[in-house]
Chains A and B, each alone.
Chain A
Amino acid sequence: MRSKLSPGSVVGLLVVLIWCLLPIAWIISLSMKPVAETTAGSPQFLPKTWTIDNYKTILKDDDFLHALVNSFGIGIISTFFAVIFATLCAYAIARLDFKGKRVVLSIALAIAMFPVVSLVGPLFNLWRNLHLFNTWPGLIIPYMSFTLPLAIWTLSAFFREIPWEMEQAAQVDGATAWQAFRKVIVPLAAPGVFTAAILTFFFAWNEFVLAISLTSTTSARTVPAQLAFFVGPDQFNPPSSTLAAASVVVTVPIIIIVLLFQRKIVAGLTSGAVKG
């Protein structure tokens, strides 16, 4: 597999890389421009004067910091519960033969396909009556229900790959069903668990429609929604460079998380369990 790349594929790869990375490079360069420069309109790619004032501004902004905390809190909590529920559910689906298994799976898929916007109205009213409006649970619950289906599908695929014998061996070795699940099955399905976790966290982190509709103050508003409220000193000129800086700050945690989890998502973890 370690063959040399042909000049053609090098060019192709470069094109793809530039295509993908150009917006990121641009947003970083934008975030380095002084506010005055963007307000005046700045057609050039690189800033005339480099500055990190934008970062200082947003990191001093209490509303933004609040939103950041909300985003982390809501993202982590919904990921945690979604993964636990999805793991248990997917295990049952992969292992047990029960009536209505297909129905459960298709309904789960249907939920994932439901347009979020169509639920905003009903949820808004429901949450107001239940006093969940503008609270963390008010966002965590819909986030979980939207990410669970995908997590369940991913995980049940992983569980199906694990040979039955693993679990039977554990049971013969003296494990209860729960011990076999926790000590053998879950570690083996770890790549699936991490995949599901990343997907869930992404969704919660990036979600905008629900975040802006179901919140009214910074007590629950997440970063994507908060960015929409960014006005800056002059309300006729959006503070593009400050927004760009905020976007960079919001992207960094995602990149770190992906890099951290990426190492866990190694295929072929089960190699060596059985012959072949």
Chain B
Amino acid sequence: MATIEMKNIVKQYGDGFPAVNDISIDVADGEFMILVGPSGCGKSTLLRMIVGLEDITSGDMVIDGEKVNDKPPRDRNLAMVFQNYALYPHLTVYENIAFPLRLAKMSDDEVDKKVRQASKTLELDEHLQRKPGNLSGGQRQRVAMGRAIVRDAKAFLFDEPLSNLDAKLRGQMRTEIARLQNRLGITTVYVTHDQTEAMTLGDRVAVLKRGNLQQLATPRELYDQPVNLFVAGFIGSPPMNFLPATVKGDQVEVPFGTLTIPKEKAEKAEGKGLLIAGIRPEYFEDAKVLDPAKVGTGSTFNATVDVVEWLGSQAYGYIPFEAPPEVQAQLTQLERDLDGEALHTPSSSLSTRPVGSPPAMRPRSTSTPPRCTCSTPQAATT
């Protein structure tokens, strides 16, 4: 159990490229902290600096009130689960889990007790005498976690632990990790590029982009109040829609019609010219199937849905639209930053849900202000 404080951490490689640029994050005792971002954002580097596998160019890494910059990994007493598990193939599952204990020169009785306890927690009892090569992906994953929980480490570090599993198993293991962390209550830093993992697991989430910290907040805050377009586009699935918008009075003009927004929001955006409106897909409803009482609370518009993705409990509709060139350029850049994964076809289509047969959509504005991210092409002005 420990706190981890990162103070102005910088990592520069030989060619001067800052992989991690002046990041400060405090992880509280027992907190589940997520580092999330597209590939190449420096999240793994940051994790490796915490554990000591990567040198720190400048800044302080403080674990449990003690500066550990120059300490080798073995003296930091942290447990890490690697992306590819890094199990020792020549040892049995039992010896794999026992490895850190053997290094700590524990007595055989004590080793046995702890290994059994860990294997029971992770339901590995029947596999103890097998070699990692004969295990399935999920089992290997659990062995890797066993090796982490078996010793009384100050914190757990996970480096994209689920990215090698198939989608179904990933969901199961995600729940398992959450349960485990809940029960053990141990400080955890978890690196992922998957925003679902970030949202579901984390107490707090740090969103990184190209070595810079974008926002550090609870999942709910990230979703409801993203500080910039990058965070807004990264968090949420399907991702937030970005539409070119112009504000006139309390009216917002978007490609398919005009919406009404609250006065105080409109004042901030008044006269700023062309803006980008960010509207989450769930704020669009199919007017035909919506409770008539609610229809009046929003604005209604007509548009053509060109693709519908039906997922059982919900359906995604995609509405194509044209964006002016200046917005287009920014959205293309944003898509590049987001790795092209998060947004389907961001600049030319709008995703909504749920969708019925007639393509009549209306952004619904409830009594609370609509959660739109309005920003000028240069800076966010939520």
Residues on A facing B (Cβ under 8 Å): 163, 165-166, 168-176, 179, 183-184, 187-188, 190, 269-275
Contacts and interface: CB of A to CB of B under 8 A. Distances in A.
Contact of B147 (A173, A270, A273, A274): A173
A171 to B, nearest CB: 4
Nearest to A188: B90
B85 A274 contact: yes
A132 B318 CA distance: 86
B140 A188 contact: no
B249 interface: no
B141 to A, nearest CB: 9
A168 B53 contact: yes
B79 to A, nearest CB: 7
Given A271-B133, A272-B132, A275-B140, A175 B103 contact: yes
B87 A272 contact: yes
A270 B74 contact: no
Contacts of B84: 163, 165, 273-275
B100 A174 contact: yes
B185 interface: no
A178 to B, nearest CB: 11
Interface string B154-166: 0000000000100
Interface in B188-237: none
A172 B79 contact: yes
A51 to B, nearest CB: 50
22 contacts: A169-B80, A169-B86, A169-B88, A171-B52, A171-B72, A174-B100, A174-B103, A174-B151, A175-B74, A175-B103, A187-B88, A187-B90, A269-B90, A270-B89, A271-B133, A272-B87, A272-B132, A273-B89, A274-B86, A274-B87, A275-B137, A275-B164
Given A172-B53, A272-B131, A273-B87, 5 more contacts: A169-B82, A171-B53, A172-B73, A173-B147, A176-B74
Contact of B103 (A163, A173, A187): A173
Contacts of A272: 87, 89, 131-135, 140
Nearest to A274: B84
Nearest to B131: A272
A163 B80 CA distance: 16
Interface string B77-110: 1111010111111100000000110011000000
Interface residues of B, number: 32
A166 B86 contact: yes
Q: Which of A165, A179, A183 lies at the interface centre, i.e. has the most chain B CB atoms within 10 A of its CB?
A: A165
Contacts of B74: 171-176
A190 B82 CA distance: 24
Contacts of B132: 272-273
10 smallest beta-carbon distances between A and B, as pairs: A272-B133, A274-B84, A165-B86, A169-B86, A173-B100, A272-B132, A273-B89, A275-B164, A174-B103, A187-B90
B90 A172 contact: no
Nearest to A173: B100
B104 A184 contact: no
B214 to A, nearest CB: 28
B51 interface: yes
Nearest to A177: B72
A253 B80 CA distance: 47
Interface string B104-139: 100000000000000000000000000111110100
Contact of A166 (B79, B88, B131, B134): B88
A179 B89 CA distance: 16
Nearest to A270: B89
A165 to B, nearest CB: 4
